[in-house]
Structure 1
Amino acid sequence: MSGALASRTEQLTLFGVFPIKNVNVTEVAEPVVIPCGTPFGIKLMTEGVLVVELTGFDTGDGIISPAREAGIDEGDVIVSISGKPVSGNKDVSRIIEESGGKTLGVELIRSGEHRVVFLKPSKAASDDSYRAGMWVRDSSAGIGTVTFYDPSTGIFAGLGHPVCDTDTGEMLTMSCGEAADVYISGVKKSTAGAPGELIGMFTSDKASGSLLVNSECGVYGKMGSSPTLKSAVPVAMRQEVQTGAAEIYATISGCEPECYSVEIEKIDMGNSTDCRNMVIHVTDERLLDKAGGIVQGMSGSPIIQNGKLVGAVTHVLVRDPTRGYGIFADTMLECAKSAAG
């Protein structure tokens, strides 16, 4: 929520003495959002299917993998086979079985580029079915944390990093998605070299919101109802973020967030789309005692400093889970505006 406050004319001068020209200056109100820290469930359907593993099978004449021979790689997104769009695992299995071993044109996306390869399925000796020698995935589900809600657009922001495939690490290309209510029943404590995780459950089969965007800077969507847990706060520009004391809102039990003390140790003003703009250190003994620091599922926890939203937790440092990375809040706000259209 922001808007112009007032306009005025200012004179530019050289060395503070020689007038150059007059310019119009417009004051703009600070954008304001509602910080959350509440857990939410993520249900995401991919665009096409993601190749997560290439495998071999016995044809009776030896072990082969038609997908590998065709030049298909793990991490590729298959969008159509023989001109037929595929949106799920069943589509792929059906088309391959119906091929009767004939060569199929496979349209896929790799590193953002469309390309076509040619796949010749073979019959497996074990059951006489035609196979391609690959495992694919068409959906993902998990738990994250809502960073903020923008009352001016109705958009919520979460995670601060993309939803990626657990096997390939590739960002999932989303066709549609849902947000769901979750309850955190426990936490697996982090230790050095072994990050912990929130343990939770979806509390309803019904969606509590819709996901619109899965991006490098998080997930964005529309909530079914606006949160009323906290008052709105200004969003800090990255130049306002300082090293020193701060707080995060996180939920490690139930569904209500609590405030925990942290320290911002390092700030990186580099790539604006990076989700590792700052290093935070958990100093709150309660969070250290309960969770060992940062755990998976806390991604998106809002970071508050000097009464402003300055960022969100994105990653835990594996070697030292009392520390983690955070993304600038102004980056997430820009992504939220783009999601609103």
Structure 2
Amino acid sequence: MLINCAAYQAGSKIADLPVEAISEYVSHPDCFVWVALKDATPEELQEMQVEFGLHELAVEDARKGHQRPKVEEYGNMLFCVLHALDMDEAGELEVGEVAIFVGANFVLSVRNRSRIGFLNVRARAEREPHLLQHGSGFVLYALMDAVVDRYFEIVHRLEGELEGIEERLFSANNSARLNIEELYALKRKLVTVSHAAVPLLEAIAHLYGGRVPGVCVGMQEYYRDVYDHLERIVKSVESVREMLAAAIQVSLAMISLDESAVSKKLAAYAALFAVPTMIAGVYGMNFEHMPELKFAYGYPVALLSMVVLDVALWWKFKRVGWL
């Protein structure tokens, strides 16, 4: 579905275009065309391939989707794949994909499975004509910056989830199983963010260092800024993962402590029952010659011994925290 199609010249928008007019403006060296598609059909991609002269392998990747984040060069054209991350109200992480084709005088963004739009990016670019006059190189930076900045919000929310779980680890109504399930769910989300951010580090490094692609010349410091943001995000993810690993270990330790406490209680109660059982068992044996059988106070003495020994054991277990 076509979202927007416009032509720009010298940092200013000159016209909204129908698709049929794209080739006319692309042919002008001092203009560039910015097209945005959402959930594009194969027919729409085929039409854009003809209008912009896109490489067939890049178009195939955009059509199939589910690509690893990357930046590839096809002659004078760049093909970029970014993962657009979003979190719904239930806290579930949604992963969309943005394929961006960048040439000297065109930018084509294809957004798939993502609710995140780029109208605000276009509005920002149009408010900054001194940067927009850099052409497609600045538009690519603006799109990358918008996608990467969303990662900060996602990481911040994941940090909040971890803090909430940590607070519940030591609560009286703590459910160890629920904590473990939530921690592993959080771990999967962190892996998703890592898979979106880490591959871009190396890819974006090629846009400002070494042999810089022609469309990025003059914008190196801006791409370096995106790289710095990604580096901070990756470090934040690693920090949260380390805290998560520690939280998992603490949760498992809490389970072991709970099991140990139960075992101690069971052992203590078993000992309390074992003492009177032993005494009653000895004097319940039907032997004819037993020293205490003729003792007039044997029964109360036996009962008293049971009580005294059990009270002593109970006091001892209570003192050491077994009961």
Normalized against structure 1, the TM-score is what? 0.19
Structure that is richer in strand per residue = 1
CA radius of gyration, larger in: 2
* Greater share of residues in helix: 2
Structure with larger RCO (C-alpha < 8 A, sep 6+): 1
